[in-house]
Structure 1
């Protein structure tokens, strides 16, 4: 619990405000904003593209991520992302182009 809280606090410190826009998930497009996460929840950045991978970090709405690439896995499109020096994967459903 303490690790999750610390990770969330670190993510909040690195967030910014984004502009409205359409999601374009071509590889290496740059910065995207986390959107659509319930107010009392966080988007899970995972170690790999799928729910079977461990959670690396919890990301609140408004977090700005660098998107490197995206790939379909089952019914979900997963994007390889980074935040500072932390790398992982998130569902594209919660990303908006900045």
Structure 2
């Protein structure tokens, strides 16, 4: 009986650690939640980058309204970066700033 309680507590702690790591990135419990690019200044685009930071190459610019599937987010410096794929072209993947996403 004690082993079952310890296992349940370990699983609960692991789930809490995962939620803290994501920091609210995926509001729903499914990986690949749908988000849209939002709040980018007119005439600019959100950069989909090769890694989580501005030092990585830009893969493509994304205008407001672009739909993404967001998978995992990590904090790098003062920015939360999310691994994402284009909803209509899932083979196109990279990282975007969480600050410019809103859940659909």
What's the TM-score, normalizing by structure 2? 0.69
Listed as ranges, the gaps of 5+ residues in structure 2 are 1-23
Query: 1:43-54 residue pairs with structure 2 within 5 A?
Result: 43-54=46-57
> Any stretches of 5+ residues in structure 1 without a counterpart?
1-23
Larger radius of gyration: 2
Report the 3-state secondary structure (helix = DSSP H, G, I; strand = E; otherwise coil) of the residue aligned with 1:90.
Answer: strand
Instruction: Find the aligned partners of 1:70 and 1:30 in 2 and give their Cα distance.
Output: 12
Query: In the alignment, what sits opposite 1:69?
Result: 72
Structure possessing the higher relative contact order (Cα contacts under 8 Å, 6 or more residues apart): 1
Alignment partner of 1:95 is 2:98: no
Q: Could you say what the CA RMSD is over the residues aligned between the two structures, in angstroms?
A: 1.3
Shift of 1:29: 4.8
Q: Where does residue 13 of structure 1 map in the other structure?
A: none
1:12-66: CA deviations, max 9, x gaps?
Answer: xxxxxxxxxxxx4137251001001011000000000000000001000000000
Runs of 4+ in 1 over 4 A off after TM superposition: none
Q: For 1:50 and 1:69, how far apart are their aligned partners in 2?
A: 14
